[in-house]
Amino acid sequence: MIGVVTSKNGINISLTAERWSHVVEAHDYMAGNQDLVFETIENPDFIVRGEKDELIAIKHYQKTSISEKDMTVIYKEAINDGFIITAFMTSKPEKILKRGVLWKK
């Protein structure tokens, strides 16, 4: 277990070493950005509806390890806990926001 943060819904969301490995293998620029992933879940700008029952947290950062980007974290909540599925940075959050904003800062 790498860490646990609390979502806007008050659910503990965990990040396992296996999931973080998946994130970094798919998006090598994410290495070293765990703090932004956790902050995005705890204090997002938007929470968007996922394709199934997952949630997508988005937070804009003026400065990241690669440039100005929006951190995007896909996670799942259950009754007592949840987990991060994946995370990446984007410069086109509008495409994700079209899915349907559930919560806005």
Q: What is the pLDDT of residue 50?
A: 95
What's the pLDDT at 49?
95
Q: Tokens 């819904």 identify what position?
A: 9
pTM score, whole prediction: 0.96
The whole-number pLDDT of residue 63 equals 92
pLDDT value, residue 32: 92
Exposed, middle or buried, 75 (CB in 10 Å: 0-12/13-18/19+)? buried
| Segments making up each domain of the chain, as ranges | 3-96
Residues of the chain short of pLDDT 50, as ranges, are none
Given this model, what pLDDT does residue 47 score?
Answer: 98
What's the pLDDT tens digit per position in 62-80? 998 899 999 999 999 998 8
